Amino acid sequence: MGELTLIRHNAHQVEVEGLSMLMHPPTTSLFEMDAVSRDVYALFRRHKTVGSGLMQAELGGRHGPQELADCLRSFLDLDILRDADAPEIPRPIVKVEEIPLSTIVLNVNTGCNLACTYCYKEDLTTPAKGEKMAFETARASFELLLKQAKDRDRVNVVFFGGEPLSNYPLIRQMVEYAEPRAAELGKIVDFSLTTNATLLNAQMIDWLNAHRFALTVSMDGPKALHDVNRRTVGGKGTYDLVARNVKLLLERYRARPVGVRVTLTRGVTDVIGIHDHLKNDLGFAEVGFGPATSGPVSVFNLDEAGLKQAFEDMKTLGRRYVEAACRGENIGFSNMHQLLTDIAQGTKKAVPCGAGLGMLAVDKKGDLHLCHRFVGSEQPTYGNVETGIEIPKLAAFIEGAQDRSQFGCKTCRIRSICAGGCYHESYARQGDPFAPVYHYCDLMRDWVDFGVESYVRIMRSNPGFFRSHLEPRRAKA
């Protein structure tokens, strides 16, 4: 053989309970390494290039020629090894010629009855000043969705705000329009919304249940923590009202499991206590955590030490998740669900999310944004629901997002899972939607390594957990 070299960014070794697992970053695939592959991989990590003479001298006494040849062929096929003189392979850019939407996000009201300290919404106003979307704009948005989703059997409408339920009449009107309209075309339409739960009542809950909404509640844990940031416009804590309404919601809502999203901020980081209260005391099906690092009021954002501690606490909760999964139990920790799903399915992302490709957000005027987080920002829009999507402009953005080589993403071992990170997080912190969220990078790499370890432990102890708990969850999403 000629001289070969290790393509270090295409392989990553993780040790789990005596097993050597090799993660293949381009495909997020996992392989259990045998003695031959461990030795070959270690040899190439020690030397810049390896030829047949060095291979024979170092490994010939332990492994036969055919074993070594087979291992080399496998590594070459995976582009873990490459001819030392081979030119660098440029990252392939998938040309975007159409926008096959599956989801439209309707920002139905800029008004909100809460004044949460960490809210990123740049167009947010008080209820009295809220700008509500008109039915004509919502209807045109749905028609655009149907046009762009011509090859899809299922579409999703997300109602967002502000507090979306503050424009409940429009939500009802849109559901009454969208269901029969989708049926005309042989499609199923799903509805989703995230709510602060302050406006819920029995009649509203029963109507949402009848139309099988996917519901997520924003809530930050027990009273002492929730009331730190989630206050009314007048400054009053909202825990008592929210907890009362959540109890009513969970008693009456049967269409789908209801999850809760927690925002971790400075002083609100008790991951274990928050999870236990929301899951075990209140009864949510799942609890998910989002650390705040780019909110408009920096004093509430987690600093580097706080962010690191939050991830350590999430790993502690993750170990509980693994222990329960090995017993066949699900403790409802959605961050772990997503991480394990990415690993189990071999997630291979060219862009971080569906923003601008499978999903667009619509503002009150009908202008199209990458996602709901950009509504009200100074970032460009990409057309209007009346005139259509500016496809060349949006395609240029998506194609540009696929290559972040100038930022170091090309050689990151979690690039197929992260793909550079959230556009809005990058924009809010650095003014550039393509600049990676560097404050997350090391923590996310460690989080994915933790996910690999967790996946292997569950697979060894109770592989049926994935079929029983992750696959059904994905089907309901």
Q: Got the DSSP string for 41-52?
A: HHHHHH-S-B-H
Indicate the pTM of the whole model.
0.92
Task: Write the pLDDT tens digit of every residue in 286-311.
Answer: 999 998 876 655 656 888 889 999 99
Closest CA to 112 of 157, 170, 160: 160
pLDDT digits (tens, 9 = 90+) for 356-411: 999 999 999 999 999 999 998 889 999 999 999 999 999 999 999 998 888 888 89
Whether the CB-CB separation of 180 and 211 falls below 8 Å is answered with no
Average pLDDT (249-270) is 95
Q: What is the DSSP string of 101-157?
A: --EEEEE-BSB-SB--TT---TT-B-GGG--BPPHHHHHHHHHHHHHHTTT-SEEEE
The pLDDT score that the predictor gives to residue 473 is 47
Question: Could you give phi then psi for residue 259, rounded to 5 degrees?
Answer: -105, 170
Residue 283, classified by CB atoms within 10 Å of its CB into exposed (0-12), middle (13-18) or buried (19+), is middle
For residue 361 the two structure tokens come to 């957000």
How far is Cα 327 from Cα 307, in angstroms, rounded to an integer?
30
pLDDT score at 194: 96
SS3 per residue for 368-432: EECCHHHCCCCCCCCEECCCEECHHHHHHHHHHHCCCHHHCHHHCCCHHHHCCCCHHHHHHHHCC
- Rounded CA separation 430/125 (Å): 25
Over the stretch 83-130, which tens digit does the pLDDT of each residue have? 999 988 887 899 999 999 999 999 999 888 888 888 777 666 666 677
Name the least confident of 22-36, 95-109, 172-186, 281-295: 281-295
Average pLDDT (261-289) is 96
Segment 39-65 shows an average pLDDT of 96
The predicted pLDDT at position 140 comes to 98
pLDDT of 263 higher than 90: yes
Any idea which residue has 């060095």 for tokens?
54
431, two tokens: 């003014």
pLDDT for residue 79: 96
DSSP string computed for 196-265: -STT--HHHHHHHHHTT-EEEEE--SSHHHHHHH-BBTTS-B-HHHHHHHHHHHHHH--SS--EEEEEEB
What pLDDT is attached to residue 476? 45
| Token digits of residue 89 | 């392979």
Mean of the per-residue pLDDT values of the chain: 93
For residue 333, is pLDDT > 60? yes
DSSP conformational letter for 350: S
Beta-carbon contacts of residue 38 (< 8 Å; ≥ 6 apart): 20
Pairing of strands 359-362, 388-389: unpaired
Residue 292's identity, in one-letter code, is A
Q: What is the pLDDT of residue 477?
A: 40
User: Helices 438-461 and 334-345 sit at what angle, rounded to 10 degrees?
Assistant: 80
Q: Is 29 helix (H, G, I), strand (E, B) or coil?
A: strand
Query: Rounded to an integer, what is the distance from CA 117 to the centroid of its chain?
Result: 23
Residue where the block lists tokens 């809502």: 253
Inter-axis angle of helices 239-252 and 202-210, to 10 degrees? 40
Query: pLDDT tens digit string along 198-214?
Result: 999 999 999 999 999 99
Q: Which helix (H) or strand (E) covers residue 23, if one does?
A: strand 19-24
Q: Are strands 103-107 and 359-362 parallel, antiparallel or unpaired?
A: parallel
Q: What is the pLDDT of residue 129?
A: 76
Question: Using 50, 70 and 90 to split pLDDT, how confident is the model at 474?
Answer: very low
Run of H or E residues at 82: strand 81-83
- Cβ-Cβ contacts under 8 Å for 426 (sequence gap 6 or more): 420, 432, 433, 434, 435, 436, 437
